[in-house]
């Protein structure tokens, strides 16, 4: 059995927050943000109405419709998020409840920006083993509620946004599906991109630990190196060259990282899909949101060779190669 992506969907909040809007609440500028990251705007949703599980639910409905599959045929939910609705339980069971599904298992993963490629690996393993036939995999991130929208927090807050993406992954005997995944981690750098405490859980002295922290230059340096490592391994394993890729969708962390990798692989603009200018960094949701958009625009066709790659907190990183 092969594990194939048969449906895609996404959801983003209606509330658009431009760089000009951020200029009103912190010392920053539209030009500075675009130069640093390529981001022009992002979406901020209501922390309750647009929670991670609620946005995931909307993305899941679109993916199920796109897959033309009855929701009751789903036999496993995988849910990736760094900001679940509750400390526990995870969002997987909340989605199972909202979809009114039977008592199927729900699995939550916390791999932050690498969540999508890690989740694809899990789904592929389950389907290849014959344990499950139809898996609903959702990545959803409600991040705006934990951002410091002041000058103190601008180095991180201007980069992130809210959104959700979803895919339906099913067993098939056709010549298509997830060919390989390549996963890595290096916990030695765990504190270089972190949120140590949930809001209100630290002491007065540790109040800065209630906010996300990122060592930007170090993360950028490792990202460009690790992206290349994971992609090159996948190319070798699948006997491919960069020119054989019909579409490359990188995690939308920073347009400058994507441009660096594109240049290093000598890929054309038609081979790469970026949408960070509209949504900012939506963490694990960024690749499936971009995939859903690319699919709607007809940029993914049967037989196409597609590569996903991500790098993020942990550090964790990886790639996935898919024959559409």
Environment class of 100 (CB within 10 Å of its CB; exposed 0-12, middle 13-18, buried 19+): exposed
Whether 279 and 148 map to the same domain: the answer is: no
Residue in 134, 254, 274, 281 annotated catalytic: 281
Q: How many domains does the chain have?
A: 2
How many angstroms separate the CA atoms of 207 and 36, rounded? 27
Percent share of the chain, pLDDT over 90: 94
Whether 270 and 211 map to the same domain: the answer is: yes
Q: Residue 294 sits in a domain of what CATH number?
A: 3.40.47.10
On whether the CB atoms of residues 163 and 282 are closer than 8 A, the answer is yes
How does pLDDT run across 271-301, given as a tens digit for each residue?
999 999 999 999 999 999 999 999 999 999 9
Expressed as residue numbers, the domain containing 127 is: 2-175
Of 123, 156, 175, the residue that ends a domain is 175
Examine the residue annotation and report whether 113 is marked as an active-site residue of this protein. Answer: yes
Whether 107 and 56 map to the same domain: the answer is: yes
Whether 260 and 285 map to the same domain: the answer is: yes
Whether 143 and 154 map to the same domain: the answer is: yes
Whether 148 and 271 map to the same domain: the answer is: no
How many angstroms separate the CA atoms of 228 and 66, rounded? 32
Residue in 251, 274, 295, 307 annotated catalytic: 251
Whether 201 and 313 map to the same domain: the answer is: yes
How many angstroms separate the CA atoms of 178 and 156, rounded? 33
On whether the CB atoms of residues 168 and 5 are closer than 8 A, the answer is yes
How does pLDDT run across 141-160, given as a tens digit for each residue?
999 999 999 999 999 999 99
Of 125, 144, 175, the residue that ends a domain is 175
Whether 80 and 119 map to the same domain: the answer is: yes
DSSP letter at 47 equals T
Cis omega before residue 315 (within 30°)? yes
First to last CA, the chain: 15
Whether 106 and 166 map to the same domain: the answer is: yes
How does pLDDT run across 223-261, given as a tens digit for each residue?
999 999 999 999 999 999 999 999 999 999 999 999 999
Residue in 113, 222, 254, 307 annotated catalytic: 113
Examine the residue annotation and report whether 128 is marked as an active-site residue of this protein. Answer: no
Half-sphere exposure of 100 (CA within 13 A, CB side): 1
Examine the residue annotation and report whether 251 is marked as an active-site residue of this protein. Answer: yes
How does pLDDT run across 68-106, given as a tens digit for each residue?
999 999 999 999 999 999 999 999 999 999 999 999 999
How many angstroms separate the CA atoms of 207 and 106, rounded? 34
Whether 135 and 157 map to the same domain: the answer is: yes
Distances in whole angstroms, Cα of residue 46 to Cα of each of 140, 145, 307: 14, 8, 33
Whether 233 and 304 map to the same domain: the answer is: yes
Whether 155 and 272 map to the same domain: the answer is: no
Of 175, 194, 214, the residue that ends a domain is 175
């Amino acid at each position: 059995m092969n594990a194939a992506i048969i449906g895609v969907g996404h959801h983003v909040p209606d509330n658009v927050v431009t760089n000009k809007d951020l200029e009103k609440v912190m010392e920053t500028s539209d030009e500075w943000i675009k130069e640093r990251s390529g981001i022009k705007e992002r979406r901020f949703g209501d922390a309750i109405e647009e929670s991670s599980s609620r946005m995931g639910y909307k993305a899941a409905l679109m993916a199920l419709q796109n897959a033309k599959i009855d929701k009751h045929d789903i036999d496993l939910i995988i849910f990736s998020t760094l900001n679940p609705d509750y400390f526990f339980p995870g969002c997987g069971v909340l989605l199972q409840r909202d979809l009114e599904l039977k008592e199927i298992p729900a699995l939550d993963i916390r791999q932050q920006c690498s969540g999508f490629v890690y989740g694809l690996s899990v789904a592929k393993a389950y389907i290849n083993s014959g344990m499950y036939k139809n898996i609903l995999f959702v990545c959803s991130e409600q991040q705006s509620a934990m951002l410091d929208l002041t000058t103190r927090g601008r180095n991180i807050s201007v980069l992130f946004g809210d959104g959700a993406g979803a895919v339906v992954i099913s067993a098939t005997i056709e010549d298509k599906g997830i060919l390989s995944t390549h996963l890595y981690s290096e916990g030695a750098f765990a504190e270089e991109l972190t949120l140590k405490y949930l809001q209100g859980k630290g002491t007065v002295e540790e109040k800065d630990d209630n906010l996300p922290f990122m060592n930007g230059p170090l993360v950028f340096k490792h990202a460009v190196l690790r992206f290349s490592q994971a992609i090159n391994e996948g190319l070798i394993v699948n006997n491919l060259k960069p020119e054989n890729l019909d579409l490359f969708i990188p995690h939308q962390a920073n347009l400058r990282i994507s441009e660096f990798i594109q240049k290093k692989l000598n890929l054309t603009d038609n081979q790469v899909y970026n949408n960070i200018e509209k949504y900012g960094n939506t963490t694990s949701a960024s690749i499936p949101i971009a995939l859903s958009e690319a699919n709607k625009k007809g940029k993914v066709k049967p037989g196409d060779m597609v590569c996903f790659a991500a790098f993020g907190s942990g550090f964790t990183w990886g790639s996935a190669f898919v024959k559409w």
